[in-house]
Amino acid sequence: MRNHSIALLPGDGIGVDVIQEGKKVLEVASQLDGGFTISFESFDWGCEYYSKHGKMMPDDGLDQLKQFDSIYLGAVGFPGVPDHVSLWGLLLPIRRHFQQYINIRPVKLLRGIPSPLANRTQTDLDFIVIRENNEGEYSNIGGRMYEGTSQDMAIQASVFTRQGVEKVLRYAYQVAQKSGKRKRITAATKSNGITYTMPFWDEYIQKINAEFPDIETSIIHIDALCSFFVTKPDSFDVVVASNLFGDILTDLGAGIIGGMGIAPSANINPEKKFPSMFEPVHGSAPDIAGKGIANPIASIWCASMMLEHLGELDAAHAIMEAMQDVLEERKFVTPDLGGIASTEEVGNAICKRLYE
Ligand code: GGG
């Protein structure tokens, strides 16, 4: 029997609420499948850990995570801990240390969720954003000078390497090639305003495109692309973007598929040399944390993506179907989707549906 070991990092705020439901669904899916088991180990790292220890995870945290097949993360960030500390103390070191240089974020309208865009159906809203996940604008290289004076200034570099850019672009083209859809790449740029890194990015798009002549490619400025996400979402198949552009685009993507409570993401190490990490796109939402009203759909969708990555395709598919059946029934949906169900009730309904 195959066993998959999962490191659970619920993190902060609603991360704790939603990961609990995802774990339950994973347990049921593995029992029903019968071909594999899942073992979990939970880590209390995050902002509360930071307030006790002055760091988001222990010094050997990354070493501890290395032994797992996958990492399942909730959310990071809580008032009282500066945002950059929670990101650079836990989330980003994991992405970088484990070479999770691909961030896959599906923008897909689920069955049972009405589109916030007028007259759009599931066929119109079904594409993937691939975000470069290890470099770009998230460089942490820069500095601050003359703080507290009238010359106060800050500078931050963006880092685009040939290796990093080629790897994410090639991955995106491979996904487009396998896609049953239009075999089309849309690449986000801003080479009219950002005069070194973005032309560099565009140049490598042309280069990698030459390896995939059957794939149609459009390079679109990020500002226009935001507008097209809303006005013509049906024109996309695979969208590829730098770290920051991808992050912004996928919050917009979450908006057009029903909100932040829905959108999943997978931080992938394609070589499978290191564990990949699965986390909802949303943050820790401290205002609703612990109230039992957070939507667990994004984290449960992440659970399905994790199983798919681990090769458990039937169980991954079963979760997606059960989740959409429950959404379609509309009996157990959380307040963000117009329902009155709790986080736990949605999780339970999906587990029950899996048994049926
Ligand atoms: N679900 C993980 C989380 O808390 N994300 C919040 C966030 O700000 N992420 C930034 C990023 O993905 O770069």
pTM above 0.95, yes or no: yes
- Give the pLDDT of residue 294: 98
Tell me: pLDDT of 181 over 80.
no
Distance 1 CA to ligand 1 centre (A): 34
216 beta partners: 184
For the stretch 215-267, pLDDT in tens is 999 999 999 999 999 999 999 999 999 999 999 999 999 999 999 999 999 99
Q: Which of 19, 76, 133 to mutate to test the pocket of ligand 1 (most atoms within 8 A of CB)?
A: 76
Which position has the higher pLDDT, 165 or 119? 165
Whether 284 lines ligand 1, by a CB cut-off of 6 Å, is yes
Residue 8 is predicted with a pLDDT of 98
| 129 DSSP β-pair partners | 105, 239
Out of 281, 299, 302, mutate this one to test ligand 1's pocket (max ligand atoms within 8 Å of CB): namely 281
279 lines ligand 1 (CB under 6 A): yes
Span 267-294, average pLDDT = 97
pLDDT digits (tens, 9 = 90+) for 313-324: 999 999 999 999
Q: Is the CB of 136 under 6 A from ligand 1?
A: no
Q: Answer whether 283 contacts ligand 1 (Cβ < 6 A).
A: yes
**Ligand 1 pocket test, candidate residues 56, 78, 91, 251, most atoms within 8 A of CB:** 91
Question: Does the beta carbon of 18 lie inside 6 Å of ligand 1?
Answer: no
- Residues in contact with 145: Cβ distance below 8 Å, sequence separation at least 6, in sequence order: 151, 152, 153, 154
CA 317: distance to chain centroid?
18
**pLDDT, tens only, 32-90:** 999 999 999 999 999 999 999 999 999 999 999 999 999 999 999 999 999 999 999 99
Mutating to test ligand 1, I would choose from 56, 87, 132, 245 the residue with most ligand atoms within 8 A of its C-beta, which is: 87
Residue 286 has phi, psi (to 5 degrees) of -55, -30
| Cβ of 247 below 6 Å from ligand 1 | yes
Strands 264-268 and 102-108: antiparallel
Q: Is the torsion defined by CA of 40, 89, 250, 138 positive or negative?
A: negative
Residue 143: pLDDT band (50, 70, 90) is: very high
All structural domains of the chain, each given as residue ranges with its CATH number in brackets, are 1-106+264-356 (3.40.718.10), 115-144+153-257 (3.40.718.10)
pLDDT at position 11 is: 98
State the DSSP H helix or E strand holding residue 99, giving kind and residue range, or none if neither: none
Residue 294 near residue 280 (C-beta atoms within 8 A):
no
Nearest CA to ligand 1 atom 13: 247
Q: Residues with Cβ < 8 Å from 287, sequence gap 6 or more? A: none
The CA-based dihedral angle spanning residues 282, 286, 288, 293, taken in that order and rounded to the nearest 10 degrees: 40
The DSSP call for residue 149 is: S
Burial annotation 263-282 (CB, 10 A radius, 16+ → b, else e): bbbbbbbbeeebbbbbbbbb
Q: What is the pLDDT of residues 188-212, one digit of tens each?
A: 999 999 999 999 999 999 999 999 9
pLDDT at 180: 77
Say how far apart CA 305 and CA 310 lie, in whole Å.
9
- Tell me the pLDDT band of 182, cut-offs 50, 70 and 90: confident
pLDDT in tens, 88-126: 999 999 999 999 999 999 999 999 999 899 999 999 999
